[in-house]
Amino acid sequence: MIAYHVNEDTLLECGAPEEVAAKLFLDRSVELMGDIHLGNNVCVRSSIIGPDVQLGSDARVVDSRLGPLCKIGQRSTIEDCTLGRGVDVEYSSAIDSGTTVGIGTRIGHHCRIGRNCRVGAGCTIGHGVQLENCVVLGDGVSIIGQCTIGYGSAIESGVSLGKGCIIEYGCRLGAGSVLQEYVRIGRCCRLGVACALQDEARLGDWASIGSQCTIGEKAIVGEYSHLDWRIRVGDRTAIGDDCVVCEGADIGADCIIGTRCWVESRAYVQTDTRMDDGEYRMLAQADRSAGGDDEKANV
């Protein structure tokens, strides 16, 4: 890259070689706040470009505002967006109109961020991530490569998503939650604060998970089911549709919980248990007499 303090009329006057000037397009409505670093075949229209911005070859910036020290990679497109100070967009990515990106966020290659998204400060978005329109990311969100976030979903601050996660439209993920690799969240789900979903866990549409829950590897929570807070679901357990699991319950690994089941607060469901449709599980009588505060019933 070559650095010039440029506009359309003064490229040659500032010493840019004629062959370089011929490969750039900066229209008269571009406002440059300082030196910029340009690759070949760059196109900038109707934008405000802060100092020390780097635009890679074949980059395109239209109707946008780029803060100081931003880096736009080769063949990337920024259209009608606002990028804060120090935002780094790697090659072959696209950010659509109406989107804002916070200070210091890093966006990997081959990403697409849809219209009217809000990306907080200090986020890390890995390669191949797709954010559909109207997605909101809080500060410090980390998304590893090849994830998809559906329309209108909101991911609160400090959430971490592993490789290959899919979040369907209309979801909300609570602050500090961690999703490992290939987790799938169905439509309009709610996930509380500080939850942990292990590899390949799955939530059905409209499922609701309270704060501080742990969902094991390859576990499934069915559609419209509700899990209260501080619940543990073991690996490979399947919870059917329309179930309710109350606060503090512990469901072991490899269980099958039928549809419309109810698990009482602080109850313990042993490994390999099968609950039929509509079954109700509660604390044992001895634990109930003692208040059930510290012990769990084996059922």
Q: Encode pLDDT of 253-265 as tens digits.
A: 999 999 999 999 9
Can you name the residues that pair with 203 across neighbouring β-strands? 185, 221
Distance CA 133, CA 122 (A): 20
- Do 262 and 299 form a contact (C-beta atoms < 8 A)? no
> Is 50 exceeded by the pLDDT of residue 242?
yes
Q: How far is CA 3 from CA 10, 34, 42, 55, 77, in A?
A: 13, 10, 13, 10, 20
What b/e string do you get for 114-142 counting C-beta neighbours within 10 Å, with b at 16 or more? Answer: bbebebbbbbbbbbbbbbbbbbbbbbbbb
For the domain made up of 188-299, the CATH class stated in words is mainly beta
| Range from 17-31, 94-108, 177-191 carrying the lowest mean pLDDT | 17-31
Which pTM does this prediction carry?
0.86
Dihedrals phi, psi of 21, to nearest 5 degrees: -60, -35
Helix intervals (H) in 115-205:
none
Pairing of strands 77-79, 94-95: parallel
Distance CA 209, CA 225 (A): 8
What b/e string do you get for 241-261 counting C-beta neighbours within 10 Å, with b at 16 or more? Answer: bbbbbbebbbbbbebbbbbbb
The pLDDT assigned to 244 comes to 96
Residue 176, phi-psi category: left (phi > 0), alpha (psi -120 to 50), beta (remainder): left
What pLDDT digit, counting tens, does each position of 118-171 carry? Answer: 999 999 999 999 999 999 999 999 999 899 999 999 999 999 999 999 999 999
Domain ranges of the chain: 188-299
